[in-house]
């Protein structure tokens, strides 16, 4: 039996703290298991296990060897799986979460096209605005829009998503364009209720100075769609993500106020996934697919 096989047997004995338990798990006899561990100890010139009639435990050297050997075998198994997946069509389940409005407008078609391209991948798509627990709910990929914060997730930027202070034509016809940020206090405001600082617009000047202005709350809603419609109807100024406002800014139905200032902090669209040592081929391909698809976003 080769060295790697002996290492695997040793790991099983340490896991079960028993030669008999390892034998049952591996389909071998107890004496065969004991012989292979003894051969490994002789090869290393060190005792790895303390043996009694009822219990097996790791020696100090055995504990060190156990941790290093387990990591090494995990890496080997991961490499074998990656090579195997390179030779075959990716398979398995892929569970994805994305914000409702953005997902419906900009991800539905790319995801459906991905599913057509890779029919062996079982996609489970969840569009909603709830902040899901990625690990507890078993998500492989989540799409999040915002500023990048410290997280247990790995993030890959898909596209910029600036937040634009907007006013509709109807509001401008009634009030005129504000000449200074301070004049916004004279305008009705539309507020997104899910935002942490609901009424506050934070912005950065060209010189890097960061300022803020509080908007009046005359209308509030918890979806970008409602904010957009209220703004189009002239109910107030509001902060909109570029993906909601872009087509209306192009048509002139919406006007960007103070475009010389940039909303702060910087906001982007990210694909995020758990910090696993192994990233499956299907997950990697899916994120690459979304990254390529993001190049066609109109505001880019």
What's the CA gap between 105 and 226, in Å, rounded?
Answer: 15
- The SS3 call for residue 262 is strand
Which of the listed residues 59, 87, 115 is the one where a domain comes to its end?
Answer: 87
Same domain, 176 and 259: yes
> What is the structure's pLDDT at 86?
59
Same domain, 178 and 258: yes
> What is the structure's pLDDT at 293?
94
Which of the listed residues 87, 116, 146 is the one where a domain comes to its end?
Answer: 87
Same domain, 179 and 151: no
Same domain, 146 and 173: no
- The SS3 call for residue 227 is helix
> What is the structure's pLDDT at 5?
86
Same domain, 64 and 196: no
> What is the structure's pLDDT at 252?
94
Q: In sequence order, what are the residues at sequence separation of 6 or more whose Cβ sits closer than 8 angstroms to the Cβ of residue 249?
A: 164, 166, 255, 256
> What is the structure's pLDDT at 290?
96
Same domain, 188 and 255: yes
Same domain, 286 and 143: yes
Residues for the chain: how many in total?
A: 300
Same domain, 150 and 173: no
Q: How far is CA 159 from CA 69, 99, 260, 270, 285, in A?
A: 41, 15, 21, 7, 17
> What is the structure's pLDDT at 79?
75
Same domain, 115 and 231: no
The residue to which tokens 């391909």 are assigned? 285
> What is the structure's pLDDT at 135?
84
Same domain, 141 and 199: no
Residue 150: DSSP 8-state: -
Sheet holding 262-263, edge to edge: 210-214, 200-204, 262-263
Domain that holds residue 207: 163-263
* CB atoms inside a 10 Å sphere around CB 78: 14
Give the CA diameter of the chain.
91
> What is the structure's pLDDT at 258?
96
Which of the listed residues 60, 87, 114 is the one where a domain comes to its end?
Answer: 87
Q: How far is CA 231 from CA 166, 254, 267, 295, in A?
A: 8, 8, 21, 28
How many folded domains does the chain comprise?
3
We report the CATH number of the domain holding residue 40 as 1.10.10.10
Same domain, 15 and 150: no
We report the CATH number of the domain holding residue 193 as 3.40.190.290
Q: Would you say the pTM of this structure is higher than 0.85?
A: no
We report the CATH number of the domain holding residue 110 as 3.40.190.10
For each of the chain's 300 residues, which pLDDT tens digit applies? 677 788 888 899 889 888 888 889 889 998 888 898 899 889 989 999 998 877 889 999 989 999 998 888 888 887 777 676 655 678 889 999 999 989 999 999 999 999 999 999 999 999 998 888 888 898 999 999 988 776 788 999 999 999 999 999 999 999 999 999 999 999 999 998 876 557 899 999 988 899 999 999 999 998 889 999 999 999 999 999 999 999 999 999 999 999 999 999 999 999 999 887 568 889 999 999 999 999 988 887
Same domain, 213 and 280: no
């Amino acid at each position: 039996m080769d060295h790697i096989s002996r290492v695997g047997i040793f790991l099983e004995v340490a896991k079960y703290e028993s030669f008999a338990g390892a034998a049952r798990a591996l389909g071998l006899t107890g004496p065969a298991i004991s012989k292979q561990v003894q051969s490994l100890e002789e090869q290393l010139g060190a005792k790895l296990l303390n043996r009694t009639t009822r219990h097996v435990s790791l020696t100090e050297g055995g504990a060190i060897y156990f941790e290093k050997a387990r990591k090494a075998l995990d890496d080997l198994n991961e490499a074998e799986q990656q090579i195997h997946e390179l030779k075959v069509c990716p398979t398995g389940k892929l569970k994805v979460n994305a914000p409702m409005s953005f997902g419906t407008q900009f991800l539905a078609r790319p995801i459906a096209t991905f599913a057509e391209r890779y029919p062996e991948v079982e996609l489970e798509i969840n569009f909603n605005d709830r902040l899901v627990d990625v690990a507890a709910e078993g998500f492989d990929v989540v799409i999040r829009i915002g500023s990048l914060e410290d997280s247990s997730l790995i993030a890959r930027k898909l596209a910029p998503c600036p937040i634009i202070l907007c006013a509709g034509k109807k509001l401008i016809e009634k009030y005129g364009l504000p000449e200074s940020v301070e004049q916004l206090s004279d305008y009705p405001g539309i507020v997104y209720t899910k935002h942490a600082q609901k009424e506050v617009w934070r912005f950065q000047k060209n010189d890097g100075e960061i300022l803020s202005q509080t908007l009046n709350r005359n209308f509030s809603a918890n979806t970008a769609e409602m904010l957009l419609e209220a703004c189009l109807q002239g109910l107030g100024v509001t902060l909109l993500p570029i993906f909601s406002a872009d087509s209306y800014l192009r048509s002139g139905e919406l006007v960007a106020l103070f475009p010389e200032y940039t909303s702060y902090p910087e906001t982007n669209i990210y694909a995020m996934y758990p910090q696993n040592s192994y990233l499956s081929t299907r997950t990697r391909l899916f994120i690459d697919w979304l990254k390529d698809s993001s190049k066609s976003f109109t505001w880019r």
